[in-house]
Each structure stands twice: as structure tokens, then as C-alpha cells.
């Protein structure tokens, strides 16, 4: 059996521009547990792309931006990426992230829309939320009704 990642046509993916491609790639793999599918270098040998995978069909590309931006939060402003936790629990993943000296911006907490989630900011200011269903016995209709009554 091969350790190579499966290749498939990606129907949707995000590409994030980052200030330091190598450092961001390490952060995503070492801190959050993404897997590096492949990386590309330019003719000069400098890295130009990292293809990361959270789970199947949840791929993320990192690409260098060029000169660093003046404000990291401007880059990720308005962008929130959400990833389903399929192995273990949200709380277990949050504990692993904290143990790797990553600051959790919010959570873990249970939201009215029936998710247990926590949020981190990556080194470039992008917001990433990791979530899973909080109560597997609640139906979608029940969740919508409960949330609608609270608004």
C-alpha cells in the first residue's frame, strides 16, 4: 500500500496567499495536522505552492504572496474556513493545538446551530474553524426551529 495521497479532481478548494510559504506549510502540518499532498518549486528552486489536505475533498493550497503585507489581519479579513473533525473530538484536537503553542481565538464551545467548534488564526490572519455535530440525535429541522425561536 502506498503512502501517497490520493489524487482526484478538486471540485472546490481555497488558495491562501501567505508571507512565508515554508513556515505556513509547517504550521498547518505541525500545529493543525494537515497533510502535505505535494509542494512545487519554481525554476529558481524557491517554493511556489503547497497542497495540503485536511480530509478527502477538503484541500487547501498555500501560495506565496510576494513582499510581506503591512498587516496580517488585512489578508484574512472576512475569510473563514471551516473543517469537519472526523477523527477524535473537537476538544481533543483543541487540546493538541494548544499543546503546540497555538492560541485558540474562540472555543471550544457548543453553538446553537448544533456544532461543537473552536477557531484559530493562522500566521497570516486567516480564520479557521474546526467543528463537528454537537448532538447527533437532533435533526436538522429541530436545529432550525430552535435557532429560529432564539432570533
Quote the CA–CA distance of 59 and 65 in Å, as a whole number.
19
Q: How many domains does the chain have?
A: 1
Does 92 have pLDDT greater than 60? Answer: yes
Evaluate whether residue 27 is within a structural domain.
yes
Binned at pLDDT 50, 70 and 90, residue 69 comes out as low
Q: pLDDT, tens digit, for every residue of 35-67?
A: 999 999 888 888 889 999 999 889 999 999 765
Does 151 have pLDDT greater than 60? Answer: no
Q: Indicate whether this model's pTM tops 0.75.
A: yes
Could you tell me which residue, 112 or 150, shows the higher pLDDT?
112
The DSSP-derived string for 60-121 is EEEEE-SSPPS-HHHHHTT-EEEEE--SS-HHHHHHHHHHTTPPEEEEEEEETTTEEEEEEE
**What is the pLDDT at residue 66?**
61
Evaluate whether residue 6 is within a structural domain.
no
CATH number for the domain that contains residue 39? 3.10.180.10
**What is the pLDDT at residue 62?**
95
Q: Which domain range does residue 101 map to?
A: 14-66+73-150
Evaluate whether residue 9 is within a structural domain.
no
Closest CA to 76 of 17, 12, 118: 17
Amino acid at each position: 500500500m502506498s503512502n501517497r495521497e490520493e489524487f482526484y479532481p478538486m471540485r472546490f478548494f481555497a488558495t491562501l496567499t501567505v508571507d512565508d510559504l515554508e513556515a505556513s506549510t509547517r504550521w498547518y502540518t505541525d500545529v493543525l495536522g494537515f497533510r502535505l499532498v505535494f509542494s512545487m518549486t519554481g525554476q529558481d528552486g524557491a517554493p511556489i505552492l503547497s497542497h495540503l489536505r485536511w480530509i478527502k475533498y477538503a484541500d487547501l493550497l498555500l501560495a506565496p504572496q510576494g513582499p510581506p503585507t503591512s498587516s496580517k489581519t488585512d489578508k484574512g479579513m472576512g475569510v473563514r474556513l471551516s473543517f469537519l473533525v472526523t477523527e477524535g473530538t473537537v476538544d481533543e484536537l483543541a487540546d493538541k493545538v494548544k499543546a503546540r503553542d497555538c492560541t485558540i481565538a474562540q472555543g471550544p464551545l457548543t453553538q446553537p446551530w448544533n456544532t461543537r467548534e473552536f477557531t484559530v488564526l493562522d500566521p497570516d490572519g486567516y480564520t479557521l474553524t474546526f467543528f463537528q455535530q454537537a448532538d447527533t440525535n437532533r435533526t436538522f429541522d429541530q436545529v432550525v426551529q430552535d435557532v429560529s425561536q432564539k432570533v
